[in-house]
Structure 1
């Protein structure tokens, strides 16, 4: 099975054909909200409360309830932050949430958020018995719930096997966000069809900043300002894409939501910045560089 470097050729935004956007746009911001389903009968995907004595247990009620706070409280803070600023993000959704807490995805439908498939429930793709079936199942459930089949895929924790992209192509998706290797979209080969890799972020992501390495509550705001400044400058020659990923149980916490709102306000106030959903970014890229353009 092809490794990533066998699916795309090497290039760099500093030398490849420039990407342009209308009306002086230099930077496209792609906001992503990740909503996950954690099965209380398995070890939790993440922990904020270490087990006493390091003895992990199932059920892990303390960490499961941390995640549940996101469903009950944090998500609704994020929803209001986006809605009051007329920003429509991409919802990266474990499809099982449509079955367990439909109020959350229904609110996203009502707010005209875009849905991106994000596994059936949160677990490494390597632990799934039939990943190809799960990738199709996720799209089927989201299509039934929203009335629109998702075009984008994001693996749980961005995990992939060497077969994953072929399975994503087979399932009919057009783009994916698992690879964090560029500041611009890229064409990627799969067995069935070419896919577009959208530049997601692991460093402008509240899990990396606030959970993996707990920083101050305003750390993501500061990173976003710095990244925006540099990418806007580089975007004078070729438009860049800046994504960020947030989770309701992290950025939706009472001590962080203020800084998340300030981050949105800062990005929205910058000349040359536009917010887009994943499908819009994919279509913008494909119009300028149809496959098999140089990657």
Structure 2
């Protein structure tokens, strides 16, 4: 893969193509925006450091097990996930479930509820750790795909790396394993094709902006931030989508937006979006199929 002076091969994965200067895509019924929701469920191993923390260790002395921060996450799976399930199902919406492979056995009722609702299962690593810390990426990818395939009856078509992390080889390994789309590349409002040594893989637009890890865990925004920022994001994409269709992602985690003081703002965001005509509410796989059909 050609290096163009970036120091690595990322630029070699795709050509620069302004959204205003490419072949026009058309959503069904001339819709303006396709919106997809990504629900992330993860295995935070109690024996190790937590992927994120809400409570710093007393006197700056880390301790394992990290009971409060592990329990903070576990609340999301015991309670918060079910708030997501109700908010989506009551509105006739499906999500894409970004799931660690080990979560199939850890949280079977949540995975079954997602399967029963027809959600699109995406690989999200085998456990919750960055890809550059995975000893054998190829094996972890295969184990994740196998766990999802055994549970759902079909392998996942999409992948979201934990923390959106990739090494220079991750994309190639994903394509070789049969993954068709990824959510790690947050660089466009439309799907784009990425080059790999096993052919092309599609980047479906994901987000680090309308993402509760960023808004809540990192920026520590007020509880209503997902509604205020999500509404403004949607309104601009809807305006621009009249001429150039757009994709909007909403990325949520049960331990964050599933908290009692935040869930109503996610519901308000959905109700705002659903009050507009010319919008399709899709899963990642449905966006992939639309893009592939358009690209023919």
- Relative to the length of structure 2, the TM-score reads 0.96
- Cα deviation for residue 56 of structure 1 reads 1.8
> Within the alignment, does 1:86 sit opposite 2:56 as a pair?
no
Cα distance in structure 2, aligned partners of 1:220 and 1:273: 19
Q: Residue by residue, what CA displacement relative to the aligned partner does 1:269-289 show, whole Å, maximum 9, x if unpaired?
A: 112211111111011111111
Q: Moved runs in structure 1, 4+ residues, more than 6 A?
A: none
Cα distance in structure 2, aligned partners of 1:256 and 1:13: 34
- Cα deviation for residue 24 of structure 1 reads 2.8
CA contact (8 A) 1:209 1:220 kept: yes
Residue 115 of structure 2 corresponds to: 109
- Cα deviation for residue 22 of structure 1 reads 2.2
Residue 141 of structure 1 corresponds to: 147
Residue 241 of structure 2 corresponds to: 235
Cα distance in structure 1, aligned partners of 2:84 and 2:44: 20
> Within the alignment, does 1:6 sit opposite 2:12 as a pair?
yes
Equivalent position to 1:44, from 44, 47, 50: 50
> Within the alignment, does 1:194 sit opposite 2:178 as a pair?
no
Residue 66 of structure 1 corresponds to: 72
Secondary structure of 1:215's counterpart equals coil
Cα distance in structure 1, aligned partners of 2:132 and 2:111: 26
CA contact (8 A) 1:268 1:274 kept: no
Q: Residue by residue, what CA displacement relative to the aligned partner does 1:68-95 show, whole Å, maximum 9, x if unpaired?
A: 0001100001000000000001000011
Q: Residue by residue, what CA displacement relative to the aligned partner does 1:129-188 show, whole Å, maximum 9, x if unpaired?
A: 001110111011000011111000110010000000000011001110001011110010
Q: Residue by residue, what CA displacement relative to the aligned partner does 1:199-255 show, whole Å, maximum 9, x if unpaired?
A: 100010011001101111111101111111111111111210000100000011000
Secondary structure of 1:280's counterpart equals helix
Cα distance in structure 1, aligned partners of 2:138 and 2:274: 39
Cα distance in structure 2, aligned partners of 1:195 and 1:94: 21
Secondary structure of 2:21's counterpart equals coil
Equivalent position to 1:96, from 102, 108, 127: 102
Residue 130 of structure 1 corresponds to: 136
CA contact (8 A) 1:18 1:237 kept: no
Residue 289 of structure 1 corresponds to: 295
Unmatched tracts of structure 1, length 5 or more: 291-295
Aligned residues: 290
Unmatched tracts of structure 2, length 5 or more: 2-7
Equivalent position to 1:273, from 279, 285, 288: 279
Q: Which moved more, 1:134-143 or 1:11-20?
A: 11-20
- What RMSD over aligned residues (CA atoms) do the two structures have, in Å? 1.0
- Relative to the length of structure 1, the TM-score reads 0.96
